[in-house]
Amino acid sequence: MKLLVQKDFDYNKVVLPDKELINSHLDKYLEIRYPQLIWESIRYSVLADGKRIRPLLMLESARICGGDIENVFPIACALEMLHAQSLIHDDLPCMDNDDYRRGKLTNHKVYGEAIAVLAGDALLSYAPKVIIKHTPDKVDKKVLLQVLEEFLKAAGPMGIVGGQVVDIESEEKEIDFATFNYILSHKTGELFKFAMRAGALLSGATEEKLEALSFYGKTIGYAFQIADDILDVTGTLETIGKTPGKDQNSKKNTHVSLYGLEESKKELEILCINAQQELIKKNINSPLLMAIAEQIVARVLK
């Protein structure tokens, strides 16, 4: 099986309108209030130039399930806020200790550690508030509650926090595949899976479609982390927007440190092929989802 390439599909051009809509909603939700300093610090990180891959996936998942994307923006933006929070905290001296993120100085380098911690904390509690306050009334409350529960699960010790804890615990240790698998699927896979599930749930998807989209999300999320591990070795500050070589310096268990660069590239491609094939098998027609799987591979080969 081969990775399917979308001919004449200009990814950046196709996603631009949605990216602009996501950014304008984020800008609106994060208007500056009192105390100004915390909102400035939050806006500095959230509105910085990120790929917005998670909210883009959520919008597409809703579209292909026949949903109204107006219902999805608050949750898509809350997910981007949660992601930004994880980046702010991940960059702190007590975690990965990085000076650069999204091509500029990290939050704590500009605002200091105390405000960076608080910006993360504030985002974590403000994001669910955005979901509750801004999701249109026409969304079924039972569905909204399920989405909210899945959001909080993905954000907490059964999701991204759990992944990060096992990642930290495993530094400088030999770990088995089950432990490594847990790290990747929780640290990164959970937010991708949630993106696909939330879009589908809000759009009344059938159980079969929901399962297929969940599989796609968790598979490309896992692949995305392998790509991130590869780029930590092969990328530069200019291409990845953060300091390369951090994983090796902190003796982290990454796909590359465990299996080598070539094996990691192969595994990345296999996962993205599997994600594409799942869509084909379940008759889910989305040139964008096909292209995203392809882009994850293309990014590391550039």
Binding interface with ligand GRG (CB under 6 A): 50-51, 53, 82, 85-87, 89-90, 95, 102, 124, 155, 160-161, 164, 187-188, 224-225, 228
Q: How far is the CB of 88 from ligand GRG (least distance, A)?
A: 8
Contact by Cβ (8 Å): 275, 223: yes
Find the shortest distance in angstroms from Cβ 228 to ligand GRG: 4
CA distance from start to end of the chain: 22
- Minimum separation from the CB atom of position 85 to ligand GRG (A): 6
Considering beta carbons, is residue 65 or 96 the nearer one to ligand GRG?
96
Identify which of residues 83 and 197 has a Cβ nearer to ligand GRG in the complex. 83
| Block residue for tokens 């904390």 | 121
Nearer to ligand GRG, 90 or 150 (CB): 90
CA 35 to chain centre: 29
CB closer to ligand GRG out of 209 and 229: 229
Q: What distance in Å separates the CA atoms of residue 188 and residue 211, rounded to the nearest whole number? A: 19
Decide whether 65 or 182 has the Cβ nearer to ligand GRG.
182
CB of 120 to ligand GRG, least distance (A): 7
Q: Which residue's Cβ has the minimum distance to ligand GRG?
A: 50
Task: For tokens 């984020």, name the residue.
Answer: 26
State CA 75 to chain mean position distance.
13
Q: Which two tokens stand for residue 11?
A: 């990814």
Burial 263-285 (b: 16+ CB within 10 A, else e): ebbebbbebbbbbbebbeeeebe
Both tokens of residue 38? 């915390």
What is the amino acid identity at position 68?
Answer: D
Shortest distance (Å) from residue 279 CB to ligand GRG: 21
Omega of the bond prior to 17 within 30 degrees of 0, cis?
Answer: no
We find the least distance from the C-beta atom of residue 66 to ligand GRG, in angstroms, to be: 27
Rounded CA gap, 242 and 51, in Å? 14
Identity of the residue, 23 or 85, whose beta carbon is nearer to ligand GRG in the bound complex = 85
